[in-house]
Amino acid sequence: MPAVRLGIGDDSAILSPNGRSDWALSCDAFLEGVHFLAKIHPPDSVGYKSLVRAASDLIAMGASPRYFLMTLALPASRIGTWLDTFLGGMARSARFLGMRLIGGDTTKNHSVSISITVLGEVSRGCALTRSGARPGDLIYVTGKLGRAQLGLELVRRNLPQRTGLQDLLRQHLYPRIPVKLGEWLARNQIATAMMDISDGLSTDLARLCSASRVGARIEARRLPCVAPPASLFPATIKRTPNPLLLALHGGDDYGLLFTVPPQRSKRLQRAPDFSTVTCIGQVTSGRKILLSGDGATKLLEARGWDPFNRK
């Protein structure tokens, strides 16, 4: 690992690369009222999730998370218990990811605003991008799609107070991201293209296909959908979450979306956490994104998270 010649305490952090690795850098904003509600979301979740979602961009490149910097703006009312709990959640996330804080800034603001810059390491020339998918490649995702969106629905309906909901809320409040799988895919050069599912499958698949100048056909029956508990969402309740719509358009899952040539698919079975991986379709030569199910095929609209079109 490159040495930190100068860390916290000066105007900048200075790193010494070793010449054998590439460094992946990304930044991410996490804003009160846009990405979380301070009166509803626990402060340790805010701290934990703000770092995980930033680091997810590194995992999507196949990079190993290493360091991060944070700018934190918050009102005076959040100093004390809220801030201590927030930092505790962030420290937990840093331990999970194996990351180290090397600098940043703190200031006052009328609401909580978090900006995180992350730095990751990947073997030279092995970083995975969105632009390498080719017609015929198989399309894979990790985890159950729609888990985080279902957790958000529970929070919106004031259901977290009910017991036994920890598993349903976890991916929304304390997301786990497939660090080892992302590293393995890059190191072994199995995937041709990869990105994280942060804004919903329909939106992020469209981005990957656009970057690769291809299309895709996915099958609804193959999607690993989350199942909303009938006890919480009886069929008689209006706006019962639809598992397929959650899987297609729900954001915040931070799983991986990647493509693999058919001839490499058997090698994929050796991957860490392979049991969480599902093949959902195939890359096509056209530029359309198609969804097949119930005997019909239709265009899949990108209806995931859009901060400029929030309802």
Same domain, 274 and 175: yes
Q: What is the pLDDT of residue 6?
A: 73
* Beta bridge mates, 123: 21
User: Are residues 105 and 142 located together in one domain of the fold?
Assistant: no
Does residue 158 sit in the same domain as residue 103? no
Residue 72: per-residue pLDDT: 97
Q: Which domain holds residue 90?
A: 3-123
The CATH number linked to 88 is 3.30.1330.10
Indicate whether 60 and 83 sit together in one domain: yes
Helix 43-59 and helix 166-173, axial crossing angle in degrees, nearest 10: 60
Both 149 and 119 in one domain: the answer is no
Q: Is residue 128 part of a domain?
A: no
Strands 14-16 and 296-299: unpaired
Return all residues near 256 (Cβ < 8 A) that are at least 6 apart: 59, 60, 140, 141, 142, 178, 181, 182, 185, 194, 195, 196, 197
| Cβ-count burial 212-225 (b if 16+ within 10 Å, e if not) | bebbbbbbbeebbb
Contacts (Cβ under 8 Å, ≥6 apart) of 17: 2, 23
Q: Is pLDDT of 297 > 60?
A: yes
> Rounded to two decimals, what is the model's pTM?
0.91
Same domain, 272 and 300: yes
234-249 tens-digit pLDDT: 654 556 788 999 999 9
Q: Are residues 67 and 215 in the same domain?
A: no
The residue out of 123, 155, 171 marking a domain boundary is 123
- Please indicate, yes or no, whether residues 304 and 203 belong to a single structural domain of this protein: yes
pLDDT at 70: 97
In the chain, the percentage of residues whose pLDDT exceeds 70 is 92
Q: What is the pLDDT of residues 257-287, one digit of tens each?
A: 999 999 999 999 999 999 999 999 999 998 9
155 domain residue, yes or no: yes
Q: Is 131 within a domain?
A: no
Is 34 inside a domain boundary? yes
Q: Could you tell me if 205 and 112 lie in one domain?
A: no
Candidates 171, 129, 127, 133; CA nearest to 149 is 171
111 part of a folded domain: yes
Cα 35–Cα 185–Cα 191 angle in degrees, nearest 5: 95
46 versus 123: the higher-pLDDT residue is: 46
**The domain boundary residue, chosen from 78, 98, 123:** 123
Q: Show Cβ contacts of residue 222 under 8 Å, excluding neighbours closer than 6 positions.
A: 278, 279, 280, 281
Number of domains in the chain: 2
Residues 47 and 173 in one domain: no
Residue finishing a domain among 95, 123, 151: 123
Q: What is the DSSP secondary structure assignment for residue 143, as one 8-state letter?
A: S
Q: How confident is the model at residue 99 (pLDDT cuts 50, 70, 90)?
A: very high
Task: Identify whether residues 211 and 283 lie together within a single domain.
Answer: yes
Hey, is 70 helix, strand or coil? strand
Reference 182, options 172, 173, 195, 201; nearest CA is 195
Local structure of 259: helix, strand or coil: strand
